[in-house]
Every structure is written in C-alpha cells, then in structure tokens.
Amino acid sequence: MVLAAPSLVLLTNQGRRLLLPLSAIPLADKDSCGDRFIPLKPEESVTAVVTLDFNP
C-alpha cells in the first residue's frame, strides 16, 4: 500500500477497514461532532484506530 498522506485506518465491529486521509477529517471544535465525517453504518462502531505515517 502506498500512501500519499498521513492516514488513519479504522477497524469496525463489522470487520470493515476504513482508510481515511487525515486531511479528509476536519478538526472539530468542542461543540461539534466528528461522526458525520466517518462513513460508519448505524450498527457499526470503531473498535481500533491505527495511524499510518507518510514519509515522502
């Protein structure tokens, strides 16, 4: 796998792996919720997060 930017891999309780570039996830302030930026199904939850670094 070749990465173009630092990314997160989210592992879900449904067995899916979601690769999300960090630049695609806006920084949330204390009054907002980041759930709408992570494409989870209603019955899914994140069970683990792995960070992947990028070295150009």
Report the distance separating Cα 17 and Cα 33, nearest Å: 21
- Look up residue 8 and give its two tokens: 């997160």
Residue 32: its pLDDT value, please? 54
Residue in the block written with tokens 């980041």 = 34
49, 8 contact by CB (below 8 A): yes
- Is 15 or 34 the better-scoring residue by pLDDT? 15
Say which amino acid occupies 33: C
For residue 21, the one-letter residue type is P
Confidence check: pLDDT of 11 > 60: yes
Band of the pLDDT at 14, cuts 50, 70, 90?
very high
Q: Where are the domains of the chain?
A: 1-22+45-56
